[in-house]
């Protein structure tokens, strides 16, 4: 892999991570702490163990993203109405401080998968809610029709 290809891949992962963070912050908070522990620590989507040499860097990245997910709400609300691009650039700058290793890439992939699961949970919740309402109204229509 050439340096150029590697740099393009790194940039894509950094942008994907910031976009995923935006999605988490834009969504409702169900139970982030429990979901995070379950899917980003206990039952990760990628390799279960970090390489001993790269573990501190990967764990630091995971902790940083987690703290952003929990602590960015006030800053996000303020910045959201003013300058989202400045916020994105500041997050990208912070992420660029992390070494680009297999383990840090796994953290980014886990976070991306976590975000997709997080977003789909809202879809499932909305579908279940609509199903309950339709069944309730369906029963009411049957009762009134007879």
Tens-digit pLDDT profile for residues 20-34: 998 888 776 667 888
The whole-number pLDDT of residue 87 equals: 84
* For the chain, domain boundaries: 3-121
pLDDT score recorded for residue 98: 92
Give tens-digit pLDDT for 93-118. 999 999 888 888 889 999 998 888 88
Residue 134 CA to residue 136 CA, distance in Å, equals 5
Lowest mean pLDDT among 1-5, 13-17, 62-66, 77-81: 1-5
User: Cβ neighbours of residue 45 under 8 Å, at least 6 residues apart?
Assistant: 39, 109, 110, 113, 114
Tell me the C-alpha to C-alpha distance, in Å, between residue 124 and each of 21, 23, 92, 121.
Answer: 21, 17, 31, 5
pTM of the predicted structure, to 2 decimals: 0.71
Q: Over the stretch 46-84, which tens digit does the pLDDT of each residue have?
A: 766 766 666 888 889 999 999 988 876 565 556 655 788
């Amino acid at each position: 892999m050439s340096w150029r290809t590697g740099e393009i891949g790194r940039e894509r992962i950094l942008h994907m991570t910031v976009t995923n963070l935006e999605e988490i912050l834009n969504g409702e908070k169900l139970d982030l702490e429990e979901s995070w522990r379950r899917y980003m620590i206990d039952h990760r989507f990628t390799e279960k163990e970090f390489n001993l040499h790269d573990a501190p860097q990967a764990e630091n990245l995971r902790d940083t993203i987690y703290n952003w997910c929990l602590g960015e709400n006030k800053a996000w609300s303020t910045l959201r109405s003013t300058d989202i691009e400045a916020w994105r650039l500041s997050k990208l700058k912070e992420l660029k401080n992390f070494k680009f290793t297999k383990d840090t890439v796994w953290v980014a992939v886990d976070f991306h998968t976590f975000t997709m699961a997080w977003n789909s949970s809202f879809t499932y919740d909305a579908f279940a809610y609509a199903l309950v309402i339709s069944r309730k109204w369906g029963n009411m229509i049957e009762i009134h029709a007879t």
